[in-house]
Amino acid sequence: MHLLVTGGAGFIGSVVADQLLQAGHRVTVFDSLIKGYRAAVPSGATFVRGEIHDRSALEALMTAGKFDGILHFAAFIEAGESMREPGRYFQNNVAGSLTLIETAVAHGISRFVFSSTAAVYASKDAPLTEADPIAPANAYGATKLMVEQILDWYARLKGLRYAALRYFNACGATPGRGEAHRPETHLIPLVLQVALGQRSHVEIFGADYPTPDGTCIRDYIHVADLAQAHLLALAALDQHPRLILNLGNGAGYSVRQVIEAARQVTGLRLPAVEKPRRPGDAAILVADAGAARRLLGWQPRITDLHEIIASAWEWHRTHPHGYVAAS
Ligand code: UFG
């Protein structure tokens, strides 16, 4: 298939683009490079720089090349930032996605895989299934939920076949690709920046949550496993016109447990300092990904937290400045 990957210069999108190429697909990456890196785009992909809310750029792209499907990753993704600047999130994530979906449907593209999130759910002290209550704790999660709803209307009204994949906490690295957000706000890369001596300590955002050690619990899923689910979902759209699936390991780790695992992996002390809660954080988000396993035959391979952090550490150690060459 010829596939359009928006956000394919980002962390998850670039790993998916790479796996699609390895599976024999043709890939065009469309990315603004506001958050992504040109160097992350796999060499076998065609690269087009542009914004998802630029209808004429999308028209030109879809007129020039016939796409069999779209995998849509391009979005702003920081829950904390979305609580300070909600307008940017609604504009980019919701309005931009609507423009992309409208243009895709107008060009007869009928397969759409959407990067959604666990942040659509309310916090729960047990693994979340897709039937659990939807109640985003932050504006970021709300934007992803709105796009899911838009997709559902296009499925009903225009026959669009879509998969909304609700990621839990993507992390880890593949040999060529790792996590390098700018600015970095994610827990594991921040802890590893302490290991590299680039930060004096890591901050723990809230030690008074209703969890065993008082810190937030998340489900950390390796990016290669996450990426694999996209290829399976794309193929499954032929049988299932509408897929809404959680992607996680089903195991929850607290912020303190992640920092402790990183200490064991790196052999370093990694100082941590307790800080107040970060607005918009749910206490506990852990996946029940049984539906993805059943419907897609998906089986995550790298499920041990130490192994996940070790893969990230390998990438950060060998790319201490991310995709930017050391000066
Ligand atoms: N945290 C800290 N200190 C830090 C950074 C994070 O204590 O310096 C905590 C957060 O408060 C949270 C946990 O570590 O409890 C994980 O935070 P991340 O920022 O790494 O990830 P989030 O859980 O906020 O969000 C991530 C993705 C979202 C996705 C969500 C799904 O960024 O896109 O996982 O669970 F929706």
pTM for the whole structure: 0.97
Residues 12 and 145 in one domain: yes
Q: Is the CB of 284 under 6 A from ligand 1?
A: no
* Residue 130, CB-side half-sphere exposure with 13 Å CA sphere: 17
Determine the distance separating the centroid of ligand 1 and the alpha carbon of 180, expressed in angstroms: 14
Residues 163 and 202 both lie in one domain: no
Please determine, for residue 327, whether its predicted confidence score (pLDDT) is greater than 70.
no
The 10s digit of each residue's pLDDT in 86-101 is 999 999 999 999 999 9
Could you read off the pLDDT of 50-71 as tens digits, one per residue?
999 999 999 999 999 899 999 9
Mean pLDDT of 280-294: 96
Q: DSSP state, 301?
A: S
Average pLDDT on 294-322 reads 97
Query: What is the average per-residue pLDDT within 164-190?
Result: 95
Res 233 pLDDT > 90: yes
Residue 279 has pLDDT above 70, yes or no: yes
What's the pLDDT at 123?
87
Query: What's the pLDDT score for residue 205?
Result: 98
My answer on whether 227 and 320 are in the same domain is no
pLDDT score of 197: 97
190 lines ligand 1 (CB under 6 A): yes
Mean of per-residue pLDDT scores for the chain: 96
Same structural domain for residues 119 and 11?
A: yes
* pLDDT at residue number 325: 63
**Probe residue for ligand 1, chosen from 147, 255, 275 as the CB with the greatest number of ligand atoms within 8 Å:** 255
| Atom number, ligand 1, closest to the C-alpha of residue 119 | 36
The band of 324, judged by pLDDT with boundaries at 50, 70 and 90, is confident
47 in Cβ contact with 38 (< 8 Å): yes
Annotation marks residue 140 as catalytic = yes
* Residues 173 and 157 sit within 8 Å (Cβ to Cβ): no
124 and 201 co-located in one domain: no
192 lines ligand 1 (CB under 6 A): no
**Mean pLDDT, residues 198-210:** 98
Q: Any idea of the CA torsion for 35, 36, 38, 42, to the nearest 10 degrees?
A: 180
Distance of CA 271 from the midpoint of ligand 1 (Å): 18
Query: Ligand 1, from 78, 93, 201, 205: best to mutate by most atoms within 8 Å of Cβ?
Result: 205
- The answer to the question of residue 31 being in a domain is yes
For the CA of 219, the nearest atom of ligand 1:
35
Please give the radius of gyration of the chain, using alpha carbons only, rounded to the nearest integer: 19
C-beta 123 within 6 A of ligand 1: no
Whether residue 187 has its Cβ less than 6 Å from ligand 1: yes
Q: Is 169 in the pocket of ligand 1 (CB under 6 A)?
A: yes
Enclosing domain of residue 230? 2-171+220-247
Mean pLDDT value across residues 249-265 = 98
Q: What is the mean pLDDT of residues 209-213?
A: 97
Mean pLDDT of 293-297: 98
Report which ligand 1 atom has the smallest distance to the Cα of 191: 8
Number of folded domains that form the chain: 2
Do 225 and 316 belong to one domain? Answer: no
Alpha-carbon distance values, 187 to 1, 114, 192, 214 (Å): 36, 24, 9, 16
Torsion over CA of 24, 307, 255 and 84, rounded to 10 degrees?
-20
Residues 212 and 150 in one domain: no
CATH number of 121's domain: 3.40.50.720
Domain match, 6 and 75 both:
yes
Q: What is the DSSP letter of 137?
A: S
Q: State which of 117-126, 176-185, 301-310 shows the largest mean pLDDT.
A: 301-310
pLDDT surpassing 50 at residue 273: yes
Are β-strands 69-72 and 2-6 bridged in parallel, bridged antiparallel, or unpaired?
parallel
Q: Is there an atom of ligand 1 within 6 Å of 257 CB?
A: no
Active-site option among 140, 167, 209, 253? 140
Residue 291 maps to a domain = no
Residues 199 and 151 in one domain: no
Give the pLDDT of residue 326: 44
